[in-house]
Chain A
Amino acid sequence: MSTPPPAGRSREAASLHGVPATQQLPLERFTLDNGLRVVLAPDRSAPVVGVAVVYDVGIRSEPVGRTGFAHLFEHLMFQGSANLEKLAHFRHVQGSGGTFNGSTHLDYTDYYEMLPSNALERALFLEADRMRGPRLTEENLRNQVDVVKEEIRVNVLNRPYGGFPWLKLPPVLFETFPNAHDGYGSFDDLEAATVADAAEFFERYYAAGNAVLAVAGDFDVDRAAQLVQRHFGDVPARPAPPRPDFAEPDITSERRQSYVDKLAPLPAFASAWRVPDPITDFAAYLPYVVLAEVLTDGDASRLVRRLVQTDRIATSVGGYVSFMGEAFDVRDPTALLLQAHLPPGGSVDRVLTVVAEEIDRVAQDGLEPGELERTVARMSTHLLRDTDTVLQRALQCAVHEQQRGNPGLSYELPARLAEVTEEQVRAAAATLSSNRRATVEVVPGGGMQ
């Protein structure tokens, strides 16, 4: 094993030493007759498997008047299906030693299990059963509306900074309903949801042709392929609906809004700038992902040094690409976000000015020796660490197959990031001007306790 390069070594050396070579793990892809795409990623290093089904529908596809519906519907997919009573899904997964969950994102909704590998067929059975159709009943719908309302209370309404910034910033940056609306939904919209809405949503979006199944972990590929065919082969074929175009133009002048958070004791803000298309313009997009880390990853990053350590005008700083922090699982339009919490009485104007100065310094003066290499090395660790769990591997394979037709993207990313040049990072920084900036500010409400 080589020793790491000292700071200041050339980028070529760093990419040899600091960033490990791309891992070539086997991946198998095929499509069933009903249109379901399948990815198999065997890895026999531990006796566990991850199973993920990803549907190409998310918060952006919700109809007007039905905010929060994609997420509510996700809950309904756990309430029973053709051969499964309510509660049976949970019991079968956990009674096999596994865990499960589902989550709703801007561009997709995922359902997944992680289990001991002797339960693989059972997990495939469970996912296939609900792909044929969930049991949509009035009773289950009303019960899950109540559960979702408690979820919103615990995550948004009953805590300081709830929904900041992922629910609060999109309406400042975006104009159109799909991109701007609250993905958790209003209580009015949730309560107005009907079983007929759910049936229609399923019919349209939960088609085999609109889904990807991925399995990662401890299995034999031929055997797993047979099991997939056995359980999913007769899921009725329905084509994927045409994907709407969610594009909207960049903003042309600075936008800024504020709101009072009556639970928040300290000021905070988040800013966003549009970035290139993550799918069709990936090479231009990657430097923004790196830039966010250059600015905010750890004590040696630009903004932590300046805002937190030197000027002491921020308590914490964060930066990432895409509103849910999933840079490689999102489609256009999306954004680079910077956020900070301020000390009592702190001035958002002052911090915005300093942030602009630091961004400008990157654009004008470039990076310090070693800065790009060490940032990318740390990013590689994060990426590789994610793929150490078979569940994350399955999820990434599924989403990347769905959005890019490239299920192995995760394995390529360390090498792709190492190709990003200082010039590209500088050029990305140069686009983060104040006239393209959308900012939302949290005004502390004094802190009801």
Chain B
Amino acid sequence: MTTIVGPRELPPLEETRPLVVPPSAERTLANGLTVIAIERHSVPLVEVRLRLPFGRAVLDPPFVARAALMSQTLFSGTATMSTVDIAAALQSVGGALSAGVDADRLLISGNGLASGLGRILSVLSEVLRGATFPEQEVATERARLLDRIQVAQSQPSHLVRVALLRRMYGDHPYGVQSPDAADVMPLGTAELVELHAQRVHPAGAVLVIVGDVDAAAALDVAEEALGSWDGAGAAEQTPPIPPLRTGPVVLVDRPGSVQSSLRLALPAVGRTHPDHAALQLANLIFGGYFSSRWVENIREAKGYTYSPHSVIEHSIAGSSLILSADVATEVTAAALLETWYELGRLANIPPAPEELEQARQYALGSLLLGMSTQAGLAGLATTYAAHGLRLDYLVEHTARLAAATREEVAAAATTYLAPAKAVAVVLGDAERVAGPLATLAPVERVPVPAAGTLEAPEDVVTPPPTEPATTEGSAEPGTGRA
């Protein structure tokens, strides 16, 4: 084999290999639980996700607190098993389960050796049917949750998220998504048992099993374990999200902050909306991946920030486009100006054909990458199921991405990325950034949210043991990591 001499040309792509949806099976049990099993035999493991609807019809911070504490104490005991028994039973098949809650759902996630699927589901079943929330364990977890709320209060990423949700959603149930310390403090066994009895039921729930299993046989294992789970109870409908109300830039004062956390929200549409593929491509071109205008501008040209990103967040009650960048304090206003500039440019001038093709290839590739692992498939299948979709959506969406025209993408940019429609929240040292921001737009200064709040209790206190000095890809939003 000879080697190339002289200037080198970028090799062409080979023929695209088609997206193939893996074998799967599905069954709705008599109690209302939908079970989806998907085969991927790469490693002898199984991924398990159980998603229960957990939305609310009204803004209800005490419910948020109860749900948060319940998710943290769900595996604390049953009539026959203690916390340690549950953890050891799962661990003995290489397994673990954990629960987390957000404004839409309670999600129980886990994995283990494929040979242990029966054990994992039987433990899950016991907890779903008979979690007892023992007094002692609840007290322990309540104290831990309160500690984590306190830690969250010192994290800019958390504080700015809280402020952004309030700004976007107001009195809609999504306006408060993290628990308040005052609402957590009075909670005990009785409240958690009551919530469990009200809301932890199979109606509307989806169980996804992915891994080194026979799909049909996995359905049988699931039915055996969960077929007798009580079918009573009813989910609440979350009302549609309100339209964004434009107004002054909200400046949340965090004295001494060495960076400003910049967040913007724009309207978006759901996965089945006719504009969705075009909007996804427009967002990629703007700031949805590293090779986007916004990242190339404020990071690679100007060095204002490390990890700007722009993502479409799909919730049950609506979708939004969220822009995030943590920028040096002295360039806060300049970064906001460049953000508006790039939004306005794309909203008014159609993207170049090669920009669109690059974004399109990235979107198509992301679908292939996202379904190339057991965990990736489990996440996609669970998320799609929540919106009434199945993995064949990937095939349909591939076709829509491939077909989206430059005109459609330009139109989507005009409709959804117009800076006039954006709401902006900045968390930073107001003394240093209020003046420069006021040269661009009216500014409304507010204090840091006072009460304890929290988005992701399980993630807040214990950072991953590794914090490698990692670079570029942290600015990689669009790779289906959600």
Chain A residues engaging chain B, CB cutoff 8 angstroms = 1-7, 17-20, 23, 43, 45-48, 59, 68, 71, 74-75, 78, 82-83, 86-87, 90-92, 94-105, 114-122, 125, 129, 142-151, 153-155, 157-161, 163-164, 166, 183-184, 218, 226, 229-231, 233-234, 263-266, 297-301, 305, 308-309, 312, 315-316, 318, 320, 324-326, 337, 339, 341, 343-344, 370, 373-375, 377-378, 380-381, 384-385, 387-390, 447-449
Contact = CB atoms under 8 A, between A and B. Distances in A.
A268 B311 CA distance: 34
Contacts of A309: 83-84, 137, 140
A99 B2 CA distance: 29
Given A48-B368, A94-B290, A116-B369, A234 B3 contact: yes
A374 B92 contact: yes
Contact of A298 (B96, B157, B357): B96
B156 interface: yes
Interface in B363-381: 363-366, 368-369, 371-375
Contact of A150 (B20, B256, B306, B468): B306
Nearest to A97: B365
A95 B154 contact: no
Contacts of A318: 462, 465
A118 B14 contact: yes
Interface in B91-142: 91-96, 111-116, 118-119, 137, 140
B155 interface: yes
A341 B461 contact: yes
Contacts of B4: 230-231, 234
Interface stretch (B42-50, B314-322, B408-416, B417-425): B42-50
A99 B365 CA distance: 9
A129 B364 CA distance: 26
A83 B6 CA distance: 10
Contacts of A3: 115, 118-119
23 contacts: A17-B115, A23-B44, A46-B42, A87-B300, A94-B291, A95-B362, A101-B471, A104-B468, A116-B17, A118-B16, A153-B259, A153-B326, A166-B466, A184-B469, A230-B4, A233-B1, A265-B153, A315-B461, A324-B467, A378-B91, A384-B45, A448-B154, A448-B254
Contacts of B371: 46
B155 A18 contact: no
B258 interface: yes
B469 A91 contact: no
A143 B144 contact: no
A100 B88 contact: no
A118 B13 CA distance: 6
A147 B303 contact: yes
Given A46-B371, A119-B14, A388-B374, 5 more contacts: A116-B17, A218-B17, A266-B461, A378-B96, A449-B448
Nearest to B147: A315
Contacts of A92: 10
Contact of A263 (B148, B154, B306): B154
Interface string B445-482: 00010000000000001111111111111101001000
